[in-house]
Chains A and B, each alone.
Chain A
Amino acid sequence: MTTTLIDAAEQAEAALLILHKKFMSGNRPPDALAPLNEAALKHFELLKFPHRKHEMYTFVNTKDLVATAFALTAEGSVTEDFIKSHVFPECESSYLVFVDGVLKGDLSDFSAIESAIAIVPIEEAVGQADIKEHLVDTIEKENDVFASINSAFLGEGTLIDVSAKKQVTSPLQILHVSTGTPSGKVTSHPRVLVRLGEMAELKMIVKYVGVQGNYFVNSVMDLLVGEQAGVTFAQVQEDATDAWHFSKTRVLQGRNSRVKAVNAFFGNKLTRHHFEAHLKDVGAELTLNNVSVLNEQEQAHHFVRIHHESPHTRSGQKFKNIVNDKSRSSVDGTVIVNQGAQQTFSDQLINNLMLSDDAHADNKPNLMIFADDVKCTHGATVGQLDENQLFYLKTRGLSEKVAKELLTKSFAESIIQTIDFPGVVQYLENTLLKKLEN
C-alpha cells in the first residue's frame, strides 16, 4: 500500500511539472518573473507534495486534491451584478476585483482612495530592489508546498503600495472571484502584495467567492508592514462548497507596527489557511481572531505560525469553531519565540463547539520557546453547550430550539463582533450565523 501511495504522489508531482511547462510556454509569464517561477518550481520539487503523515498536514488529507488534474484557464464568467452583490457597503468605491487571480480594472472601482494607494502590477514592482528581494527570499525559505506552487505560477500578481504617513480612510476591499467551471477542474493562483510605509494606516477586507464550483484557489497574500504602521483587516472565505480553498497570509512586521486580522470561514470541501507572521522588530503587535461555522461535510483547517523575532513583541490569538453534521475543523497553531526575544507576551485560545457525534474537532496548539523572560500561554477546549445555560434560558420561556440557537450564535458572535467593519459584521450575522439555524 505504501508503494502505491508514493507512486500517486510522484505522479502528481510529474503532472504539476507538466502543467508548469504549459504555463511557461502557453501563458508566458512576464520575462521579469520567469526566473522567480523557475526558482519556486525547484523549491516545489524539494518540498514535494505532503505524504499522509506529514507533520504539517496532520489533520488535512490532500490526497484527492493532489491526485486531481487541473486546467489553468477557467471557463466561467462574472457579471457586474455578481460583483456588486459581494462588495461591502463601506467599500462601494474602494474595491479591487481579481477574477481567477487577475486584477480586472474595468470591474474595480477605487476612486475613493485613489490618492492614497498605488496599484502596481507585480512585473513592474519586481523592478524595485526590496520587492524583488522579498520575493526571492520568501521563495527560498518557503516551507509550504502550496505557497511554492503559487510562486511557480506567479504571473499576474499585484502590489498595493501605501506610502509613508498615508492614511487610507475608507477600507479597501479585495474581492477574489473564482469563476470555476461546470465540468473538469481548474486552478488559479492569486497573488497580492501589500506594502505599508512608515506610519501608514490601512483598513482592508478580503473576500473569496466562487461563481460556480470545481476549482482550486491557491492564493498568497504578503503584508509588509513598515515601522509604526497599522493594518486592520478581515478575511471572509465563502467559496463554492465543492471547491478547494488554500490561502497563505504572510505578515512581516516592523518596529512598533500593529496588525489586526479576523478570519471568518464558511468552509468547503477543504479550506486551509496558512497564517505566517514574523514580528521582526521591537514592539510589534499582532491580533489574530478566527471563526468558522461548518456543516455537512465541510472542512476548515487553520495553520498558524507566529514568529517572535525581537524583544517586547506581543501576539494574541482566538479561535472559535463550530462543527455540525460530519464536518471537520482543525487548528494547528505554533508560537515561536526566538532566542533573545525577551519580554515577549503571547496567548492563544482555541474553543470548539461540537454539535454532532460525526463531527471532528482537532487541535494542536504548540509553543516553541527559546528565550526565558517571556510569558506565553495557550489553551484549548472542546465541548458542547452548557446544560445550565440551556436550562436558564428555558426557564425564561425559550424553547429548546431557540435557546440552543441563541447560545451557539453567541459563541461565534464573540469573534464576529471584533471585526471593525459594520458591513462585514452585519453580513456575517446574516449568512455565517444563518448556517446555525435548523
Chain B
Amino acid sequence: MKTTEKSVSDVLDDKKYKYGFQTLIEADTFAKGLNEDVIRAISKKKNEPQFMLDFRLKAYKKWLTMKQPEWPNVHYPPIDFQDVSYYSAPKPKKKLESLDEVDPELLRTFEKLGIPLDEQKKLSNVAVDAVFDSVSVATTHKKKLMEVGIIFCPISEAVQEYPELIEQYMGSVVPVGDNFYAALNSAVFTDGSFVYIPPDTISPMDISTYFRINTEETGQFERTLIICAENSYVSYLEGCTAPQFDTNQLHAAVVELVTMDNAEIKYSTVQNWYAGDMETGKGGIYNFVTKRGKCVGKNSKISWTQVETGSAITWKYPSCILQGDNSVGEFYSVALTNGYMQADTGTKMIHIGKNTRSSIISKGISADHSSNSYRGQVKVNKGAANARNYSQCDSMLVGDKCSAHTFPYIESANSSVQLEHEASTSKISEEQLFYFEQRGISRENAITAVINGFCKEVFKQLPMEFAVEAQKLLTLKLENSVG
C-alpha cells in the first residue's frame, strides 16, 4: 500500500491512530436487530436468487442453536447481537461508469489511507476492490484481469452473474454451521470479493481488497471466495483499517479459498483495525474471522501470511485442509498486541492426502497490558501417509504487564508422519540494546532492528509494498512501549 506519500517524520509524529476519521456521507442503514425478516430483506436488497436466501436462512437457523465460543483466551462482555445493524451501504446511486462519479468524500478517505484507487495511479500494478462498509463501490483493473479470463468482482455481483460457481463453492470450505461467527456471517453477509482464476492462468498482477469499517455500530460481515483452477496462481492482498469509535464494533468475516490440481493461492493480510484507546482499552474492533483454504487438487498449495497489528480482540485461525495428495499448506504470522489488545490467533493444518506438507511460522510480540496467544492445530488423519509438519512459534514480551501464551494441538493418527513443533519466549534484552547504543545506534532504531530481525522470516513472505507497510506499523506501534 502506498503510505510513502507521507514523509516519515509525519508518520512518526502522528503517534495516535492515524486512520481515525469518519467519512460523513449518508448511509442507508437497517434498524438494529436480527431476525428472519432482516435476512430476507438483505437478500431482497441484493436481489439474490433463491439458493442464496436458502443458504442464509439455513445458516441463521443453525446460528440460533449455537453459543458464542468460550475457549479462546480472550475476555470481553457478551455481545448483544440484537444491538447491531446488519446492513449499511452508502446511499445507492446509479451504476458508476468511472471513478469521476464516485463520491469525492469517499475518494478522499481512500486517499488518506493511501489506496491507489485512482485509475491514474495504477502504476502500482494493484487491482483494488475497495469495500466501503458493505458495498463495493469501485473495482479497478477489472478489465485487464478479464482479458486473461480472471473474474474479480464484488461477491454480490458474482451471485448475480456466476450463480453456478457461487452455489458450488460457497460454504464448501467453511460450512454454514462451522462455528458461531461463521454461521452469523453466512446468514447476514452483505459483500466481499470473489475471484476466479481459470485453468492454466498466472494472474498478471496481485489482487487486493481494502476493507474499511465506517458507520458507527455497524457489524461488517465480509465474505471472500477465491477459486484457483488447475495450474493457476494468484497472490491476493488484504488490508484493513478502521476509524476511531468508542463502542466496540464487530467484524465477523469468512474467507474461503479453493485450489485445484497444481494451483497455488498466496493470501497476504495486513490488519490494522482500531485497537481501542491505548490508556483505557475502551473501544476497538472485535475481529472474529474464519479463514480457511482447501487444497482440493493434487500438488496444490495455499499460503497464508498475516501481519496483525490492530483490533481490540483478534480471534482468527487461517487454516488449510490438505486434501489433495502432495498438497502444501503454509502459515506465516506476525501478531503484535499493545495497549489492552487481546489476540488469540494461529492456524489449523488438517492433513488428509498423502505426502502433504505444512509449515507454520508464528511470531507474537506483546507489549503494555496486552495478551497474545498462539493457538494452532496440526492434525494428521489416518490416511495421510508421509505427512510432514514443521511449526515454530516464538513470542517476545515487551514490558512486565503483558502476557504471551502458546497453545498448540498436535494430533497424529498415522505412523509414517514427521511432526515437529518448537516454541520459545523471550524479551528484548538490555544487553542487546546496549550493544546497539554502544555502536551509536539510537535506542529506537535498535528496537526496530531487533523487532524486524525477529519477524524477518514472515516479512520476507510479504509482497514488497506490504512488507514496507508492515515494518512501519510495528515500529509505530511499539514506539511508546519499549524503554
Asked whether B403 lies within 8 Å of A362 as measured between CB atoms, the reply is no
Main secondary structure, interface of B, reads strand
Report the bound CA distance from A377 to B398 in whole Å: 17
- Binary A-proximity of B401-441 (CB < 8 A = 1, otherwise 0): 11111111111111111111111111100000000000000
User: Which of A55, A372, A381, A382 meets B402, CB within 8 Å?
Assistant: A372
Asked whether B408 lies within 8 Å of A382 as measured between CB atoms, the reply is no
B13, CB-defined interface residue at 8 Å: no
Q: In the complex, how many residues of chain B place their beta carbon closer than 8 angstroms to a beta carbon of chain A?
A: 35
Asked whether A369 lies within 8 Å of B425 as measured between CB atoms, the reply is yes
Report the bound CA distance from A377 to B394 in whole Å: 9
> Which residues of A416-438 are within 8 A (CB) of B?
none
CB neighbours (8 Å) of A364 from chain B are 407-410
The smallest beta-carbon distance between A349 and chain B, in angstroms, is: 9
Asked whether B400 lies within 8 Å of A372 as measured between CB atoms, the reply is yes
Report the bound CA distance from A352 to B397 in whole Å: 30
Asked whether B400 lies within 8 Å of A363 as measured between CB atoms, the reply is no
> Which residues of A357-393 are within 8 A (CB) of B?
357-384
User: Which of A355, A369, A373, A380 meets B410, CB within 8 Å?
Assistant: A380
Report the bound CA distance from A372 to B426 in whole Å: 7
Asked whether A373 lies within 8 Å of B427 as measured between CB atoms, the reply is yes
Asked whether A339 lies within 8 Å of B407 as measured between CB atoms, the reply is no
Q: Which residue of A lies closest to B73 (CB)?
A: A368
Asked whether B405 lies within 8 Å of A363 as measured between CB atoms, the reply is no
CB neighbours (8 Å) of A340 from chain B are 400
The smallest beta-carbon distance between B390 and chain A, in angstroms, is: 10
CB neighbours (8 Å) of B406 from chain A are 365-367, 378
Asked whether B399 lies within 8 Å of A372 as measured between CB atoms, the reply is yes
The smallest beta-carbon distance between A329 and chain B, in angstroms, is: 10
The smallest beta-carbon distance between B302 and chain A, in angstroms, is: 23
Asked whether B418 lies within 8 Å of A383 as measured between CB atoms, the reply is yes
Asked whether B425 lies within 8 Å of A376 as measured between CB atoms, the reply is yes
- A354-B415, A381-B420 known; A371 vs B400 contact (CB < 8 Å): yes
CB neighbours (8 Å) of B395 from chain A are 367, 369
Asked whether B424 lies within 8 Å of A382 as measured between CB atoms, the reply is no
A342, CB-defined interface residue at 8 Å: yes
- A357-B382, A372-B400 known; A382 vs B405 contact (CB < 8 Å): no
A399, CB-defined interface residue at 8 Å: no
Q: Which residue of A lies closest to B409 (CB)?
A: A364
CB neighbours (8 Å) of B76 from chain A are none
The smallest beta-carbon distance between A311 and chain B, in angstroms, is: 11
CB neighbours (8 Å) of A62 from chain B are none
Report the bound CA distance from A357 to B417 in whole Å: 10
Report the bound CA distance from A370 to B408 in whole Å: 18
User: Which of A58, A339, A369 meets B401, CB within 8 Å?
Assistant: A339
Asked whether B407 lies within 8 Å of A366 as measured between CB atoms, the reply is yes
Q: Which residue of B lies closest to A383 (CB)?
A: B418
The smallest beta-carbon distance between B195 and chain A, in angstroms, is: 35
A356, CB-defined interface residue at 8 Å: yes
Asked whether A356 lies within 8 Å of B415 as measured between CB atoms, the reply is yes
Asked whether B418 lies within 8 Å of A363 as measured between CB atoms, the reply is no
Report the bound CA distance from A339 to B426 in whole Å: 14
Asked whether A379 lies within 8 Å of B397 as measured between CB atoms, the reply is no
User: Which of B382, B404, B409 meets A369, CB within 8 Å?
Assistant: B404
- Binary A-proximity of B329-370 (CB < 8 A = 1, otherwise 0): 000000000000000000000000000000000000000000
The smallest beta-carbon distance between A69 and chain B, in angstroms, is: 31
Report the bound CA distance from A369 to B420 in whole Å: 22
Report the bound CA distance from A366 to B395 in whole Å: 12
Asked whether B398 lies within 8 Å of A372 as measured between CB atoms, the reply is yes
User: Which of A342, A352, A366 meets B400, CB within 8 Å?
Assistant: A342
User: Which of A55, A355, A365, A375 meets B408, CB within 8 Å?
Assistant: A365
Report the bound CA distance from A359 to B400 in whole Å: 43
CB neighbours (8 Å) of A366 from chain B are 405-408
Q: Which residue of B lies closest to A375 (CB)?
A: B426
Asked whether A375 lies within 8 Å of B407 as measured between CB atoms, the reply is no
Asked whether A377 lies within 8 Å of B422 as measured between CB atoms, the reply is yes
Report the bound CA distance from A53 to B280 in whole Å: 35
Q: Which residue of A lies closest to B418 (CB)?
A: A383
User: Which of B71, B397, B410, B426 meets A55, CB within 8 Å?
Assistant: B71
The smallest beta-carbon distance between A344 and chain B, in angstroms, is: 10
CB neighbours (8 Å) of A368 from chain B are 403, 405
Asked whether B403 lies within 8 Å of A369 as measured between CB atoms, the reply is yes
Which of B404, B405, B410 is the most central at the interface, judged by chain A CB atoms within 10 Å of its CB? B410
Report the bound CA distance from A378 to B401 in whole Å: 22
Q: Which residue of A lies closest to B70 (CB)?
A: A55
CB neighbours (8 Å) of B417 from chain A are 354, 382-384
The smallest beta-carbon distance between B306 and chain A, in angstroms, is: 21
Asked whether A383 lies within 8 Å of B408 as measured between CB atoms, the reply is no
Asked whether B425 lies within 8 Å of A380 as measured between CB atoms, the reply is no
Asked whether B410 lies within 8 Å of A382 as measured between CB atoms, the reply is yes
Sample of 19 more A-B contacts, CB < 8 Å, known A352-B412, A364-B407, A369-B403: A359-B413, A360-B412, A360-B413, A363-B410, A364-B410, A365-B423, A366-B405, A366-B408, A369-B397, A372-B402, A372-B427, A375-B425, A376-B425, A378-B406, A379-B422, A379-B423, A382-B412, A382-B417, A384-B415
Question: Which positions in A face B, CB cutoff 8 Å?
Answer: 55, 58-59, 339-340, 342, 352, 354-384
- Return the 7 tightest CB-CB contacts between A and B, nearest first: A372-B397, A382-B419, A354-B415, A363-B410, A367-B406, A380-B421, A370-B403
Question: Which positions in B face A, CB cutoff 8 Å?
Answer: 71, 380, 382, 395, 397-427
**A-B CB contact pairs (8 Å), 14 listed:** A55-B71, A361-B411, A361-B412, A363-B409, A364-B407, A369-B395, A371-B397, A371-B400, A372-B400, A377-B422, A381-B419, A381-B420, A383-B418, A384-B415
